[in-house]
């Protein structure tokens, strides 16, 4: 048994898994960081995805067109800038499971969250409360609390946070449903992270949406950690709105343009508030510069400013890779890869003699690619030792190491190489 397991996690065996995989990683299409002369083991695609090699040419095309055309590039560039954002809708719609007129690339994530809250958080009478998950990403907490204060409310009363049960690390959808029912008359909005940034838990978005709608509340999701990680069907699930960033699993570069989904039920509605800008104005009449606002009849109505083309060029190149790879295929690969890492960590823990607590759900259907390991007994010294040995993972206070093997570019061999480092580091630290 022992020998067999060892073989399972050997670099040779991992290489054979990569070779025989029906969906081999497209590692050669990405730049792998080289630190101290060595290619790193990169498990941080959940924080900043690697640079696709196609990014440079995509960017250069726009730089060249800008040099050649100046302002005329708006209409004469190879990809006319005036409608540049339209290049992105197909890829985005594929990733979130939407119709093309339900998605738009714009702004940054927290900005989009605020803009969508303008439309979907309108506290009235008794209905003033927002329900979210406990320990949401800080930016989301700040956004929700400040929106509540903006409307004259009190976040300590109007923000309901649902956490894990005592002793547990993940949140039960059943508990979210129960809380939604308990607060049914006071609830304006349910706003949840689709995949939790800390634990890696994937929420049942369809189920949560159904529960929110049953009490007459809107339901939205922050997809920062879901986008490009798991397939979704936001349209069919009747999700009201969602937003995401593109520099994590979407590999579109630091601070890259974010995106938003607005269900077609709400697209074109005149009875919900929205902040308007000229890029949300009917495209056919936009340059008539009319004083009155006539909105687009698509998610682009929420667009305010003209498109950040240089940044979108990289985003477009990256989305093309996803359209080619297909998110469903990536998900199948992702489940194999993460299960391999999970089993490997448990194997090393048993071998070395330490307790490896993964705070991510064990059920592959309740997580994306990320695993979060509680560094019991080691603390940050383990993380520092891994970094020193060439593993790029990340540390989240108080004691969690997050690792995301990304199916587009991480290999089984990466995992096997990581397990050797993990064994060496934990062995050394245990001896001390
Ligand atoms: C990464 C992340 C953010 C970051 O917000 P920006 O506006 O892109 O800086 C916000 N929320 C969540 C849940 C995240 O994971």
Higher pLDDT, residue 80 or 4: 80
Tell me: the pLDDT tens digits for 124-161? Answer: 999 999 999 999 999 999 999 999 999 999 999 999 99
Please check whether residues 122 and 150 belong to one and the same domain.
Answer: yes
Q: Are 96 and 242 found together in one domain?
A: yes
Tell me 36's DSSP state: T
Which 3 state secondary structure label does DSSP give 361?
Answer: coil
- Specify the pTM: 0.96
Inside any domain, residue 151: yes
Q: Residue 65: inside a domain, yes or no? A: yes
Over residues 281-299, mean pLDDT: 90
Domain span holding position 20: 2-31+328-431
Kindly state whether residues 26 and 105 are assigned to the same domain: no
Name the closest-CA residue to atom 8, ligand 1: 109
pLDDT tier at 317 (50, 70, 90 boundaries)?
very high
Q: Supply 302's token pair.
A: 């929420």
409 exposure class (CB count in 10 Å sphere: 0-12, 13-18, 19+):
buried
Question: Do 288 and 232 fall within a single domain?
Answer: yes
Could you tell me which residues come within 8 angstroms of residue 122 by beta carbon, excluding any fewer than 6 positions away? 151, 188, 272, 273
Residue 222 Cβ < 6 Å to ligand 1:
yes
Span 24-36, mean pLDDT? 94
Please give the C-alpha separations between residue 144 and each of 91, 140, 217, 219, 282, in angstroms, as whole numbers.
29, 6, 16, 14, 30
Residue among 348, 372, 346, 377 at smallest CA distance from 360: 372
For residue 47, is it within any domain?
no
How high is the pLDDT of residue 88?
97
C-beta of 47 in contact with ligand 1 (< 6 A): no
- Tokens encoding 260: 């938003």
In the predicted structure, residue 432 carries a pLDDT above the cut 70: no
Other Cβ atoms less than 10 A from the Cβ of 276: the count is 15
Find the mean pLDDT for residues 276-283: 93
Of all atoms in ligand 1, which is nearest to the CA of residue 222?
A: 13
Residue 246 shares a structural domain with residue 144? yes
Token readout for 328 is 């469903």
Ligand 1 centroid to Cα of residue 244, in Å, is: 8
CB 136 within 8 A of CB 163: no
Q: How confident is the model at residue 103, as a pLDDT? A: 98
* 32's tokens: 């792998």
Q: How confident is the model at residue 16 (pLDDT cuts 50, 70, 90)?
A: very high
Q: Is 383 in the pocket of ligand 1 (CB under 6 A)?
A: no
Indicate whether residue 195 lines ligand 1 (CB < 6 A).
no
Q: Is 197 in the pocket of ligand 1 (CB under 6 A)?
A: yes
Select from 325, 351, 376 the last residue of a domain: 325
With left for phi above 0 and alpha for psi between -120 and 50, is residue 377 left, alpha or beta?
left
**pLDDT score of 1 more than 90:** no
Query: Mean pLDDT in the chain?
Result: 95
SS3 356: coil
Beta carbons of 218 and 120 less than 8 angstroms apart:
yes
Task: For a ligand 1 pocket test, name from 105, 110, 112, 256 the mutation site with the most ligand atoms within 8 angstroms of its C-beta.
Answer: 110
pLDDT, tens digit, for every residue of 72-96? Answer: 999 999 999 999 999 999 999 999 9
The torsion angles phi and psi of 259, rounded to 5 degrees, stand at -155, 170
Residue 107 Cβ contacting ligand 1 at under 6 Å: no
pLDDT value of position 288:
86
The CATH number of the domain where 148 resides is what?
A: 3.40.640.10
Residues 42 and 32: beta-carbon distance below 8 Å: yes
With 60 as the cut, is the pLDDT of residue 188 above it?
yes
Residue 417, domain member (yes or no) = yes
Is 46 within the bounds of a domain?
Answer: no
Residues 113 and 205 in one domain: yes
Lowest mean per-residue pLDDT among 129-138, 282-291, 336-345: 282-291
Q: Give a yes or no: residue 333 inside a domain.
A: yes
* Residues 315 and 371 reside in one and the same domain: no
Per-residue confidence (pLDDT) for residue 2, from 0 to 100 = 45
DSSP per residue over 217-243, as a string? -EEEEE-TTTTTTS---TTTTT--EEE
- The pLDDT, as a whole number, for residue 431 is 76
Q: How confident is the model at residue 3 (pLDDT cuts 50, 70, 90)?
A: very low
Q: Which two tokens stand for residue 318?
A: 């990256």
Q: Which of 149, 204, 214, 143 is nearest to 183 (CA)?
A: 214
For the stretch 211-245, pLDDT in tens is: 999 999 999 999 999 999 999 999 999 999 999 99
Atom of ligand 1 nearest to the CA of 255: 8
Residue closest via CA to ligand 1's atom 15 equals 224
Tell which atom from ligand 1 comes closest to the C-alpha of 225: 15
102 lines ligand 1 (CB under 6 A): no
- Residue 361: CB partners within 8 Å, gap ≥ 6? 170, 199, 200, 201, 202, 367
- On the question of pLDDT at 372 being above 60, the answer is yes
**Ligand 1 center from residue 196 Cα (angstroms):** 11
**% of the chain with per-residue pLDDT over 70:** 99
Residue identifier of the C-alpha nearest atom 10 of ligand 1 = 139
């Amino acid at each position: 048994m022992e020998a067999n397991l060892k073989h399972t996690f050997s670099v040779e065996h991992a290489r054979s898994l990569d070779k025989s995989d029906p969906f081999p990683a497209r590692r050669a299409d990405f730049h792998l960081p080289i630190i101290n002369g060595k290619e790193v083991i990169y498990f941080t695609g959940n924080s900043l995805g690697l640079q696709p090699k196609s990014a440079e040419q995509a960017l250069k095309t726009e730089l060249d067109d800008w040099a050649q055309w100046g302002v005329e590039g708006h209409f004469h560039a190879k990809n006319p800038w005036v409608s540049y954002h339209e290049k992105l809708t197909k890829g985005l719609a594929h990733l979130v499971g939407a119709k093309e007129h339900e998605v738009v690339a714009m702004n940054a994530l927290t900005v989009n969250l605020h803009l969508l809250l303008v439309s979907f958080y309108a506290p009235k009478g008794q209905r003033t409360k927002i329900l979210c998950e406990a320990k949401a990403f800080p930016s989301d907490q700040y956004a929700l609390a400040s929106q509540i204060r903006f409307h004259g409310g009190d976040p300590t009363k109007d923000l309901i946070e649902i956490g894990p049960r005592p002793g547990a690390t993940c949140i039960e959808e059943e508990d979210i449903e129960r809380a939604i029912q308990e607060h049914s008359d006071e609830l304006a909005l349910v706003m949840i992270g689709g995949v939790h940034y800390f634990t890696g838990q994937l929420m049942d978005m369809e189920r949560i949406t159904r529960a929110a709608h049953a009490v007459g509340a809107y339901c939205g999701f922050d997809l920062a950690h879901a986008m490009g990680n798991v397939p979704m069907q936001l349209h069919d699930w009747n999700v009201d709105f969602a937003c995401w960033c593109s520099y994590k699993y979407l590999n579109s570069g630091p601070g890259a343009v974010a995106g938003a989904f607005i269900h077609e039920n709400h697209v074109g509605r005149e009875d919900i508030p929205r902040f308007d800008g000229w890029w949300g104005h009917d495209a056919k009449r936009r340059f008539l510069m009319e004083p009155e606002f006539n909105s687009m009849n698509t998610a682009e109505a929420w667009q305010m400013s003209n498109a950040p083309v240089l940044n979108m060029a990289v985003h477009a190149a990256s989305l093309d890779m996803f359209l080619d790879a297909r998110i469903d295929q990536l998900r199948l690969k992702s489940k194999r890869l993460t299960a391999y890492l999970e089993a490997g960590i448990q194997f090393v823990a048993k071998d070395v003699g330490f307790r490896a607590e993964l705070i991510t759900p064990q059920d592959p259907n309740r997580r994306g690619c990320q695993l979060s390991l509680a560094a019991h007994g080691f603390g940050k010294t383990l993380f520092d030792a891994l970094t020193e040995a060439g593993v790029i993972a990340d540390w989240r206070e108080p004691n969690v190491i997050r690792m995301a093997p990304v199916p587009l570019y991480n290999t089984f061999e990466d995992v096997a190489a990581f397990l050797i480092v993990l064994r060496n580091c934990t062995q050394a630290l245990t001896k001390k």
